[in-house]
A and B are shown apart, each in its own frame.
Chain A
Amino acid sequence: MKLSEYEVGNFFDEMFGENGRPRAAARPLARNIESLPPGELTIRQSAADRALVQAGITFNVYGESAGIEKTLPFDLVPRIVAATEWERIERGLKQRIRALNLFIDDLYHDQKILKDGAVPREIIASSKGLRQQCVGMNPPRGVWCHITGTDLVRHSDGQIYVLEDNLRCPSGVSYVLENRRLMKSLFPEVFAASHIRPVSNYPIRLRDMLEYLAPEEVTSPRVVLLTPGIYNSAYFEHSFLAQQMGIELVEGSDLVVSDGYVWMRTTKGFERVDVIYRRIDDDFLDPESFRSDSVLGVPGLMEVYKSGNVALANAPGTGVADDKVIYAYVPRIIKYYLNEEIILPNVPTYICAEADDLKYVLEHLGELVVKAANESGGYGMLVGPHAKAEECREFAKRIQANPRNYIAQPTLSLSRVPTLVDGRLEGRHVDLRPYILYGKEIFVVPGGLTRVALKKGSLVVNSSQGGGSKDTWVLADNPMAAEKERNDAAGETTAVNRT
């Protein structure tokens, strides 16, 4: 297949430089693609698609009739990240998570940052994510946000920006692991020639981190993954992670609180649970503390959590820092707690709660992307340049009715990656979601979920809105180190399978 026909266009392309030649990190892959006979990429792509359907690697789409499963479209051309660039991303993410964790802890204790005026009190007071039930709580080991998926984008200026923090129940990491498995079978020769850092030890890292949270007197803690059940959009991931970690996958009705502990119902009676990796939102976690109509949660769970007899990851209440308005203050939050400049910058953000910004946003709706503060998955969002005048007017009303709930950002020109469309490679816009674990230390998975907007020209990458995914290759600058890391990962994977 000839790469010379590929059009980079007026965008930042992750695979090709401005001169139209492959970037250094992408050369082995480019050589491999050029050497393939015409049509071979399409053949490999359909092999991958078939494998996904057969394996039932699916997600459910909300709003369609229950039980509709779709596979997340997968594109076989990976996004490649050079070692030096990754090193900066990793430092930036660690800095951000450390600061956000201090911020959450402060909000539920002394609120020094509000007293010092670095973040306005009104913003916090009106945040939907702030849980009065969590005030004064001390999560095990002082960590609130154990698992984070931070969305990054690259603009046409070549700079990487943080687009969003996902501190509640970020999903998608199963696709990172499954995409990599697929890619190894599709491009074994490129894996041999490149030095790609492994992601396969994520489950063991996750399990280690979860065990670290267990109450101190427990010597061999029982860790479970709490899922809302098979109709949840991310059910495949819940089941996959439980399997890969070798832990029990439980639903709320499998657990019961008694005598100050959490127990699970087994065929042999009740067994104690020490750590819960919950993939249920705060609202549904415990009908006695949060929404009383929740049938997904475990009545009395929060009382056990407060007494320290069970650990929850992520801690309840982290959603307060996952607010799109709080996001705008993260550079100040980092400065306040760490006295450092932000390494990975935010996208410039207009806060509709502030009068000047609101005025600007309403006057420039056609140029901006407007987001609701507490929505995810691409819902409650306006992409100005792509919206009809009618939609803009409708959205303006909603903003005016509740300015606190909205932020706006300039429309970014997201970078592109070649993507197989009807047998040809065409550029499609992407973002990147790396995953960060915070236990004894902060660990950033070398890779992440590259989401791609498959519709021509589209900037919306969410799976619920026609997005797909790609594998993400983070290269090692030192081949020897990559080799060692791969061997370690392989060893650890074997160990997981044995347990």
Chain B
Amino acid sequence: MLSRVADSIYWMSRYVERAENVARFVDVNLNLMLDAPSGTGQQWQPLVNITGDHADFTKRYEEPTQHNVTQFLTFDRDNPNSIISCLRAARENARSVREIISSEMWLQLNSFYLMVNSAAASGKLVDSPHDFFSEVKLASHLFLGLTDATMTHGEGWHFGRLGRMLERADKTSRILDVKYFILLRSAADVGTPFDDVQWAAVLRSASAFEMYRKRHGRIAPKSIVEFLLLDAEFPRAIRFCLDSARDSLHAITGTPVGTYRKAPEKLLGQLCSDLAYVNVDDAIADGLHEYLDTLQTKMNLVSGGIYETLLAKRVPEARPAPKEKIQKQKQE
């Protein structure tokens, strides 16, 4: 597979996943604000922090109001991580590999993009924001389903899954980080009904509320961290995401899982082992924020390594010898 093609599939998947996660954050926060006791103030700043675009936001908007933050994260074409920008980028990438992905995938991604574009023009977000974010999530799931059901699970598909899973792990870690940080700070709320509501919102933004209930039952911050960070079976838990990413990476390189030949294989393998053997108390012993910060740095190193070893355009240093030549020499 061409390196450029692999790169496009990888980013196509990442951008679709990113758009979905932004929709999750905003939607859950909207619901949360509806439940908030009056006078507690609107909490919209954390959302901007999650996406890591704090500086860009303050440059162009004044107050982190509901309107400003939703606009910034949804339809702001100058914000490279807004839903509309992510879909534009996903579609551009898909356009450059249209002949590789299935036509069903292309059709779905194109309709997805057109849907968000017309929503941006129609003001639908103001009238029924929840409907809009549900549509975004559903469209992303449909794309993922079509990818699994209509594209050969070969090298290209694995690059797609690699991108998607790294992106999802990153976003779950950010949800956990910012919410944990903010929720713990409002010490006065601890143990109040509103505290439970907020923790439930954290789970909901990762579609994890019901699955968490089945696994741990009561809402308890430590269990929630354990579930979103270390669960091996929940598909949005960081450990699950990184395990899947590792499987795809090894499927691409052909190196057996548990061994490594290339730098990102080693890094990702170490990361997966960490998450498999750490327990939640150890993880938060020095502070969850510190743990997540290190984790995010390592995940960025993995992404960088994948780019360096598999996707970047290289020049032939050791000149490859043409096959025909070798065969002819043998015959002589």
Residue positions of A touching B, CB distance < 8 A: 53-56, 217-218, 229-230, 235-236, 239-240, 242-243, 248-251, 253-254, 256, 258-259, 261, 263-270, 272
Cβ contact of B110, chosen from A55, A239, A256, cutoff 8 A: A55
Docked Cα-Cα span, A63 to B103, in Å, equals: 30
A sample of 30 inter-chain contacts (CB < 8 A) reads A53-B114, A55-B107, A55-B110, A56-B106, A56-B107, A217-B324, A229-B96, A230-B95, A230-B96, A235-B95, A236-B98, A239-B95, A243-B99, A243-B100, A249-B99, A253-B313, A254-B313, A256-B316, A258-B316, A258-B319, A258-B320, A259-B320, A261-B322, A263-B320, A265-B3, A266-B2, A266-B3, A267-B155, A267-B311, A268-B1
Alpha-carbon gap, A257 to B163, bound state (A): 31
Contact between A254 and B95 (Cβ–Cβ < 8 Å)?
A: no
The answer to whether A56 touches B316 (Cβ under 8 A) is: no
Please provide the 10 A-B residue pairs with the shortest distance between their CB atoms, ordered closest to farther.
A243-B99, A239-B98, A242-B99, A56-B110, A258-B316, A270-B320, A239-B99, A265-B3, A267-B6, A230-B96
The verdict on B120 contacting chain A, using a C-beta distance below 8 Å, is no
Distance of A442 Cα from B319 Cα, bound (Å) = 39
- B interface residue numbers (CB < 8 A to A): 1-4, 6, 92, 95-96, 98-100, 103, 106-107, 110-111, 114, 155, 252, 310-311, 313-316, 319-324
Which residues does chain B contribute within 8 Å of A269, judged by CB atoms?
A: 320
B203 to chain A, nearest CB (A): 36
Report yes or no: B319 in contact with A259, Cβ–Cβ below 8 A. yes
Bound-state Cα–Cα, A9 to B314, Å: 63
What separation, in Å, do the CA atoms of A254 and B2 have in the docked complex? 7
Complexed CA–CA distance, A56 and B103 (Å): 10
The residue in B98, B103, B313 that gathers the most chain A C-beta atoms within 10 A of its C-beta is B98
Cα separation A267 to B262 with both chains bound (whole Å): 13
Residues in A neighbouring B316, C-beta threshold 8 A: 256, 258, 263, 270
Q: In the complex, A240 Cα to B323 Cα: how many Å?
A: 30
Q: Is the CB–CB distance between B313 and A265 below 8 Å?
A: yes
CA distance A254 to B107 in the complex (A): 26
Please report the C-alpha to C-alpha distance between residue A310 and residue B209 in the assembled complex, in whole angstroms: 59
Contact A264 B107 (CB under 8 A): no
| A218 neighbours in B (Cβ, 8 Å) | 324
Q: Is the CB of B110 within 8 A of A54?
A: yes
Q: Which residues of chain B come closer than 8 Å to A264, judged between CB atoms?
A: 2
Closest Cβ of chain B to A280, distance in Å, is: 16
Q: Given A54-B110, A266-B2 in contact, is the A243-B98 Cβ separation under 8 Å? A: yes
Contact for B111 among A54, A251, A261, A266, CB less than 8 A = A54
Q: How far is the CB of A167 from chain B (nearest CB, A)?
A: 25
Q: Would you call B1 and A267 a contact (CB within 8 A)?
A: yes
Alpha-carbon distance between A379 and B83 when the two chains are bound, in angstroms: 39
Chain B residues near A54 (CB-CB < 8 A): 107, 110-111, 114
Task: With CB as the reference atom, state the residue of chain B lying closest to A258.
Answer: B316
Partner of A250, one of B2, B106, B107: B2
Give the distance in Å from the alpha carbon of A263 to the alpha carbon of B114 in the complex. Answer: 38
Q: Which residues of B contact A235 (CB under 8 A)?
A: 95
Which chain A residue shows the least CB distance to B7? Answer: A267
Give 9 new A-B contacts, CB below 8 A, not counting A250-B2, A254-B3, A254-B4: A55-B107, A229-B96, A239-B96, A258-B319, A259-B319, A259-B321, A259-B322, A267-B3, A270-B320
Contact at A267–B99, with CB atoms within 8 Å?
no
| CB nearest neighbor in A for B312 | A265
Shortest C-beta distance, A204 to chain B (Å), equals: 16
CA distance A236 to B95 in the complex (A): 8
Residues in A whose Cβ lies below 8 Å from that of B4: 251, 253-254, 265
Determine the chain A residues whose CB is within 8 A of the CB of B96 once the complex forms. Answer: 229-230, 239
- Using CB atoms, name the residue of chain A closest to B6: A267
CB-defined contacts of A266 to chain B, threshold 8 Å? 1-3
Interface centre among B1, B2, B92, B111 (most CB of A within 10 A): B2
CB distance from B307 to the nearest CB of A (A): 12
Q: Give A270 to B314 CA distance when docked, in angstroms.
A: 10
C-alpha spacing A229/B324, complex, angstroms: 31
- Residues of A within 8 Å of B111, CB to CB, are 54
B252 to A, closest residue via Cβ = A267
A261 proximity list for chain B (CB < 8 A): 322
Indicate which residue in B100, B319, B322 contacts A272 across the interface (CB closer than 8 Å): B322
Residue of B nearest to A265 (CB): B3
Determine the chain B residues whose CB is within 8 A of the CB of A240 once the complex forms.
Answer: 98-99
Residues of B within 8 Å of A265, CB to CB, are 2-4, 313-314
Q: Which of A53, A236, A249 has the most CB of B within 10 A?
A: A249
